[in-house]
Structure 1
Amino acid sequence: MADILVSTTEHIPGQDYEIIGEVFGLTTQSKNVVRNIGAGLKNIVGGEIKDYTKMMVEARDVAIQRLRQNAVDMGADAVVMMRFDSGSIGADMQSVAAYGTAVKFKTE
């Protein structure tokens, strides 16, 4: 699965390919209550809330892993035009979506 190339560009240099379809990976995560209290205290004094930054990095990695698996399941060789979208759900949950276009390399 790690062999699936994921690119934010529209074209992969030196490759001709056909479009298979859209692929995505989605995750929703939250921190535990103790960490939410710590984040609330940090919000008073300002600065980076490192637990939430870590959570977002983890969510991004999970979303890309799921995007890759979706591409493998479709028989793709790569994903082009990959993008992220994120948003909050409630006060302490965050969702991250990775999406793009699955492609199959042409062999001549």
Structure 2
Amino acid sequence: MSEILVTTTENIPGKEYEIIGEVFGLTTQSKNAFKDFGAGLKSMVGGEIRSYTKMLQTSREQALERLRQEAEEKGADAIVMMRFDSGTIGGDMQSVVAYGTAVKFVQ
């Protein structure tokens, strides 16, 4: 897959483009029971819960990769106005979505 430019800005300096449409990349992750137990213990004393931090980092990377895949399938050269959103599902799963507007450069 070619590297599709992803930016959180609306404009790409020096580029003109036409809008293709919205694109999304979504993933849902969960931790196993042993790591949940460890996280529960850690929450009593405070501090970073590294297993959850790693899970969210991995989720963001996967969501971004899926966002790029969808944009490439639509023939896009770039994605503008990219954002992340996340939420909890059922108390033990985390969903992360990357979304933005796919665009095609014009000559």
Same fold at TM > 0.5: yes
TM-score by length of 1: 0.97
Is 1:22 the counterpart of 2:22? The answer is yes
Please name the residue that 2:68 is paired with: 68
- Matched to 2:35, the amino acid is R
CA contact (8 A) 1:2 1:68 kept: no
Percent identity for Structure 1 against Structure 2: 69
Question: How many pairs does the alignment contain?
Answer: 107
Please name the residue that 1:37 is paired with: 37
Q: RMSD value over aligned CA atoms?
A: 0.7
4+ runs of 1 displaced by more than 2 Å? none
- Matched to 1:10, the amino acid is E
Please name the residue that 2:13 is paired with: 13
Deviation at 1:2, TM superposition (A): 4.6
Gap regions ≥5 residues in structure 2: none
CA contact (8 A) 1:85 1:98 kept: yes
TM-score by length of 2: 0.98
Deviates more, 1:2-11 or 1:53-62: 2-11
